[in-house]
Amino acid sequence: MSAYRSLDDLDVAGKRVLVRVDFNAPMKDGVITDATRLERALPTIDALSGKGAKVVLLSHFGRPKGAPNPDMSLRPVAAALSKIGDQDVAFADDCIGAAAAEAVAALGEGDILLLENTRFHAGEERNDPDFAKALSVNGDIYVNDAFSAAHRAHASTEGLARLLPAAAGKAMERELDYLGAALGAPERPLACVVGGAKVSTKIELLLNLVGKADALIVGGGMANTFLFAEGVSVGKSLCEPDLADTAREIMEQAAANSCEIVLPTDVVVAREFKEGAARQVVAADATPTDQMILDLGPETVDRIADVIDRAKTLVWNGPLGAFEIPPFDTATVEAARYAAKRVKAAGLTAVAGGGDTVAALNHAGVADDFSYVSTAGGAFLEWLEGKELPGVEALKR
């Protein structure tokens, strides 16, 4: 039996179902510019509506600091959702009080309503019990479909789940299933790719992964700090010398747990970080003092491919180089495409997440070819760090 109730466990016909979604989507001039988060909520919305539920959607948008802000209203999102889902979505000017109650009372079976930004009330981010109760009076059942907000103990993500029968939505369930398969009980060998600029932002993540993975591939700017910790000069590269001891501790923990650490053996260096800059490939321990490491070299990419070849499960977070500017995107693109190829050809389970990661995989054209790509950002990182997520814990049976 699953640790969480799902939509299949619920009798929702005629019931008011409060659904926590994450519609904090990019918007310009009142128009949603990327509807991915809206689209991912549709399976849950459609399933509930199709079963005759009165679907009441809750979401935050932006950082209004606990007060109404017309620039952060969800009204344009209701219009966008109506077009995407091909069903009218009503809108209420508040998420509690008379405006919400009247809009909910007007719903028929199968109707959909989006309430105004939960963060227009200070009680949301404080997880205020009175605010959670004010939300709960408009629902009979609570469904959380917003994994991306599950690392926050807010009224609409944690408090509400304590007041009503609670279940995971389809997007939440899918995320939990894949994340559980990737780190909870992975098919081994398990390889992890961790890139990005700084070790300082991923210390807990790295320490957690070396205790779980069979191989840890370190790329991006953070690899420079590991090289520096091994006594290698990295020239003018991005580096955190004050974290050399931390890097050594991570490598020691990896050795103690029989986790192979894969560091660059060759790198791409340049004097300038700009498109088309003159560059060269050098050994990782031969970086010129007046140049900076901006990507991994071909020998290192081949080593990464070998690790991926052996892996049955792959977890990816962060780019391997300065992928935003060609030609320093080569290692990220080649390794990502190779992983996607192994998913198709060898049944590799490849799970990825994090803001830069999603952008990098989209850049490589393989985001749709990985087994699962999480758009959850902070929640995905905290899960990688081994932390309990309040919004998930509150759903447990």
- 308-358 pLDDT tens trace: 999 999 999 999 999 999 999 999 999 999 999 999 999 999 999 987 899
Looking at 3.40.50.1260, 3.30.70.3270, 3.20.10.10, 3.40.50.2000, the CATH number of the domain 186-384 comes to 3.40.50.1260
Angstrom distance (rounded) from CA 247 to CA 52: 55
Give residue 152's pLDDT: 94
Q: How far apart are CA 146 and CA 141, in angstroms?
A: 16
Does position 173 have pLDDT exceeding 70, yes or no? yes
pLDDT exceeds cutoff 90 at 30: no
pLDDT at res. 184: 87
Q: How far is CA 354 from the centre of its chain?
A: 5
- Grouping H, G, I as helix, E, B as strand and the rest as coil, residue 5 is coil
Tokens of 18: 């409060």
Q: CB of 333 within 8 A of CB of 325?
A: no
Q: Which residue, 187, 189, 190, is CA-closest to 209?
A: 190
What is the average pLDDT score of the chain?
95
Q: Is the pLDDT of residue 29 over 90?
A: no
pLDDT tens by residue, 54-104:
999 999 999 999 999 999 999 999 999 999 998 999 999 999 999 999 999
pLDDT, residue 139, reads 98
Catalytic residue chosen out of the listed positions 15, 20, 37, 303: 37
pLDDT beyond 60 at 1:
no
Residue type, 381: L
**Over residues 27-35, mean pLDDT:** 89
**355 catalytic residue (yes or no):** yes
User: Which residue is catalytic, options 133, 174, 198, 279?
Assistant: 198
- Catalytic residue, from 52, 378, 386, 387: name it: 378
pLDDT at 262 over 90: yes
Fold of 7-171: Rossmann fold (3.40.50)
198 catalytically annotated? yes
Pairing of β 31-32 and β 27-28: antiparallel
Instruction: Please state, in angstroms and rounded to a whole number, the distance separating the CA atoms of residues 275 and 295.
Output: 13
Locate the DSSP E strands across 50-172. Answer: 54-58, 89-92, 112-115, 141-144, 166-168
Number of H helices, E strands in the chain: 14, 17
Question: What pLDDT, on the 0 to 100 scale, is given for residue 376?
Answer: 87
Q: Where in the chain is the domain with CATH 3.40.50.1260?
A: 7-171, 186-384
Selecting among 66, 110, 355, 386, the annotated active-site residue is: 355
Q: Dihedral of the CA atoms 46, 50, 51, 55 (nearest 10)?
A: 50
| pLDDT on residue 299 | 98
The fraction of the chain above a pLDDT of 70, given in percent, is 99
User: What is the rounded CA–CA span in Å between residue 23 and residue 108?
Assistant: 23
